[in-house]
Structure 1
Amino acid sequence: MGITSPALDPSQPTGLLLDGAFDQRNEDLAVTNPYSGETIATVAVGGPDDVAAAVDAAMEHLPPPPAAERAQVLERAARLVAERADAFARTICLEAGKPLKQARAEVARCVDTLTFAAVEARKVAGEMVPMDASAAGAGKLGVIVREPIGVVGAISPFNFPLNLVAHKVAPAIAAGCPVVLKPASATPLSALLLARTLGEAGLPPGALSVVIGGGGTVGNALVDHPDVPMISFTGSPPVGWDIRQRQPRKEVALELGNSTPVIVEADADLELAATKLAASGFTHAGQSCISVQRVYVQERAIDRFRDLFVAAVGRLVVGDPMDERTDVGPLIDDDNRQRVVDWIDEARDSGGEVLTGGEVRDRLLMPTVIEGIDPSMKVSCEEVFGPVVGLASYGDIDQALELANSSPFGLQAGIFTARADAALVWARRLHFGGVLVNETPTFRADQMPYGGVKDSGNTREGPRFAVESMTEPKLLVVALPQ
């Protein structure tokens, strides 16, 4: 059990983080490089008893330390992550298969997330209640204070193994909530490295625990624990909504999937749109909740856009994620690669035309563009989570908006047009949590509210918005002397 890749930080933790110490277990789990198929490390696997111990340790940190102390921990952690950016980026690249330049961008975003959370820690505040606005309240002072909701159970996915962990842990620290984290089994190393860094930054032992294991064991134990009043989950819609149904009395924050649509009007800057969408549709091999998946182009522009887009996709470098030049790397595992290939074949059999890609070379699924998608195809109505973008033309904007809204998902969408005033009107008709105009909907800045509607979830992430969901209002009323 331990590190087997010389490219990893030699001090990389591989044990469960319990009460401030990294503990090994008899059972271990291999962490595999998705590009080479080689084992880069083995990590300890926990179980329900470890979750119970982690929750017990977390409860010792309520009430929390003062806000200034929590902010200082986050500020120091941000500095440490920035100083160790290369080690974090290599870890992300090796365990997730994310190209190194994209892994570096994730590390920079993690620094932002920690920094914004530190700001929020100093801003947690309530408000005055105008008690004398009614005769019954005369002579009384009313104040609302915000208190931590309690222990937060955090369940994070594989595709952003550092920054999506930070988006759960950092706001919880800011809010004063201790955390028990279950990272994705495929990519636990980045989470462990961040947890160690937070400890070095001064986070008290037990305020954050990391328990690695399966959803049916560790995940269920965390979701069902009676002393965990909040679950923050990022992952698949079926699992997320099952958690919400099982725990109706808990705060369950869900950030789920999408089948991201983009509308390209004939008056848009087609070269700009093609370049941005080619890059964002295939970043991390399309393994992002907001990867561009469906592009609807006004019929007068489809021929020109098609040529520009396919050419831009053809310029993407596909290969070893550790190569500085690489734009597109592997999918997380063989099963997911085969699933995406099957969906491409289904689209082709249903009348779609594969303009480029569609084949596997050396474990890598080549960036794929399919023209003629329709809402019945899996590559349109479901989340591909792979390097596939579909094209279709439309006649008028009403048809385009209907096509974009035809998905059960509603995370983010995009519009490219020269008419900003019209775009604002159309954006109101798109049933999504966020709409980007003349920008790819794969864009995310870490301080903005991020989340969806419909099957895409029920929350908004970003430190300010997560802190709000992790705190509860308490009313204090004081009778003033007459």
Structure 2
Amino acid sequence: MTSTAAAPYAFWLAGRPATGTDSLEVTNPWDGSTVAAVSVPTGEQVEEAVAAAAAAQRDFAATPAHVRAAALDLVARRLGERAEEIARLITAENGKPVKWARGEVGRAVSVFRWAAEEARRFNSGEAQRLDTDPGGVGRLALTRRFCHGPVLGIAPFNFPLNLVAHKVAPALAVGAPIILKPAPATPLSALVLGEILAETSGLPAGAWSVLPVPNDRMAELVADPRLPVISFTGSDTVGHRIKDAVPRKHVTLELGGNAAAVVLADWSSEQDLEWAAARIATFANYQGGQSCISVQRVIADAAVYDALLEKVVTKVRAQVTGDPSDDATDVGPLVDEAAAERVARWVDDAVAKGAKLLTGGDRDGAGYAPTVLAELPGDAILASAEAFGPVLSLHRVNGADEAFAAVNASRYGLQAGVFTHDLQLAFRAHRELEVGGVIVGDAPSYRADQMPYGGVKDSGNGREGVRYAMADYTYERVLVLTGLDL
């Protein structure tokens, strides 16, 4: 895919390439260079896409499972074939180190592969005999799932391909038309996905559109009654605003977090602490900390706190920063300079209020050095907000009671990591921690794309993970057959 100022990237309108009258510029966060221009759809073109999705709803829902599965299989295969090209594109538009971008493409391949498999087995239905009571003699209930209707998928910048995949693949798997709105800063990966979707066959013309509309035009799409399902990934502020604006719609929200890694007293051997420190250092800083399950808080038992702190600081300092296109780089820039400036302000606020800066704390343009804080006061912004940058803080506690209470004190509840060998403590964490996922023996940043993923409290509602998103896009409808000889 190539683009010039005179010929910007086309967007995808009801499965075909189209251009509008305006364009937006995509810049590289690392050096500020222009990556490409992207055509922006007009209001009339957006209306055409939504109308096409609404018109396609019945035919798409009736499309045989093997047709949808074949299309999804093709997307998985073609993403794999173009993996290096797409990874380099992600790095250019997002600033993500290329080694992490390659991982993102691999995950998107998996998402579409899982969706193809689920499309084949989803919605087989459940039969129930109703003659368990006299009034149900001769009756049989068959329950199947049916689409709510077309989906509006709103994706963020931090995983510009894989989080798009988590909107698109489940919708296509269940036969729900989808209007995808990629993040304005990072639309290129989604547009390349549109290229690949255009290679599929058997899907109705209105089954999918990729519309890079600016954020200030999103409200019109959100309010459109022809899009009864909204799947949003992004900030809690915007997500709650969307849900409040359309309370009668089916809105799923995958929002932010300030994920905690809990290190309990039994995780005390040299090998244990080396593993925990390495995982914490890596996953506090991967994606430049721009992941909602990036490690932001380390809650360590007093018995291991000092040894762990020393190892974490050492391993954070060893993170390689620099040009994200270099295979050796661990930590690239944030998405833009404004994001780095915000992180710098929040770290400065913490230090001014008494936090100890153990390493990092430096900004260079859109880049921010991997940073570790200790003794973070409760009134610091970072104590309650989502950093969304390469910053972590360490907190000393006494025992599991204090550790779990500290995790639950957050207004967020996405995922938590618990380093323990004690199976009883693992099950207790699963029972007591107010989060959507508990990762035992590792950082909270682990995610397998087929598992249910989402949070509670200000981290949102609903679940991603292919089969779980398919359930969110559909509802149960019962058919009762009467007069049967069972």
Q: Aligned residue for 1:22? A: 17
Alignment gaps of 5+ in structure 2: none
2:216 alignment partner AA: G
**1:223 deviation in Å?**
0.9
Q: 1:339-361: per-residue Cα shift (whole Å, max 9, x none)?
A: 00000000001111110000023
Q: How does 1:241-252 map to 2 (within 5 A)?
A: 241-252=240-251
Contact persistence 2:323–2:329 (CA under 8 A): yes
1:20 alignment partner AA: G
Among candidates 54, 67, 79, match of residue 65 of structure 2 = 67
1:23 alignment partner AA: A
CA 1:3–1:299 in structure 2 vs 1: closer, same or farther (change >3 Å)?
same
2:208 alignment partner AA: L
Contact persistence 1:2–1:43 (CA under 8 A): no
Contact persistence 1:293–1:380 (CA under 8 A): no
SS at match of 1:180: strand
Q: Aligned residue for 2:360? A: 357
Q: Aligned residue for 1:55? A: 50
Q: 1:272-295: per-residue Cα shift (whole Å, max 9, x none)?
A: 100011001100100001000000
Q: 1:258-283: per-residue Cα shift (whole Å, max 9, x none)?
A: 00011112321111100011001100
**1:13 deviation in Å?**
7.6
Partner Cα separation in structure 2 for residue 423 and residue 48 of structure 1: 52
Q: 1:367-412: per-residue Cα shift (whole Å, max 9, x none)?
A: 0001112443221211010010111111222111111111100000
Partner Cα separation in structure 2 for residue 214 and residue 271 of structure 1: 45
Contact persistence 1:96–1:159 (CA under 8 A): yes
2:293 maps to 1:313: no
Partner Cα separation in structure 2 for residue 273 and residue 376 of structure 1: 28
Alignment gaps of 5+ in structure 1: 6-11
Q: 1:138-188: per-residue Cα shift (whole Å, max 9, x none)?
A: 222221122222100100000000000000100000011010011000000
2:368 alignment partner AA: L
Partner Cα separation in structure 2 for residue 35 and residue 414 of structure 1: 31
Q: Aligned residue for 1:205? A: 205
SS at match of 1:232: strand
Q: Aligned residue for 1:214? A: 214
Contact persistence 2:8–2:37 (CA under 8 A): no
**1:44 deviation in Å?**
1.2
Q: Aligned residue for 1:8? A: none
Q: Aligned residue for 1:106? A: 104
Q: How does 1:9-408 map to 2 (within 5 A)?
A: 14-63=9-58, 64=60, 65-125=63-123, 126-202=125-201, 203-217=203-217, 219-268=218-267, 269-361=272-364, 363-408=366-411
Q: Which is worse superposed, 101-110 or 409-418?
A: 409-418
Q: Aligned residue for 1:436? A: 439
Contact persistence 2:340–2:365 (CA under 8 A): no
**1:481 deviation in Å?**
5.6
Runs of 4+ in 1 over 6 A off after TM superposition: none
Structure 1 length-normalised TM: 0.95
Contact persistence 2:337–2:367 (CA under 8 A): no
Partner Cα separation in structure 2 for residue 412 and residue 481 of structure 1: 49
**1:216 deviation in Å?**
2.4
Contact persistence 1:85–1:107 (CA under 8 A): yes
Q: 1:287-345: per-residue Cα shift (whole Å, max 9, x none)?
A: 00100000011112221111111111111110000000000000001111100000000
1:424 alignment partner AA: F
2:6 maps to 1:3: no
Partner Cα separation in structure 1 for residue 340 and residue 42 of structure 2: 29
1:473 alignment partner AA: E
Q: Which is worse superposed, 340-349 or 22-31?
A: 22-31
SS at match of 1:200: coil
1:334 alignment partner AA: E
**1:201 deviation in Å?**
2.7
**1:245 deviation in Å?**
1.4
Partner Cα separation in structure 2 for residue 137 and residue 287 of structure 1: 55
Partner Cα separation in structure 2 for residue 370 and residue 427 of structure 1: 28
**1:83 deviation in Å?**
0.5
**Aligned CA-pair RMSD:** 1.7
Q: Which is worse superposed, 357-366 or 240-249?
A: 357-366
Q: Aligned residue for 1:415? A: 418
Total equivalences in the alignment: 475
Report sequence identity in percent: 45
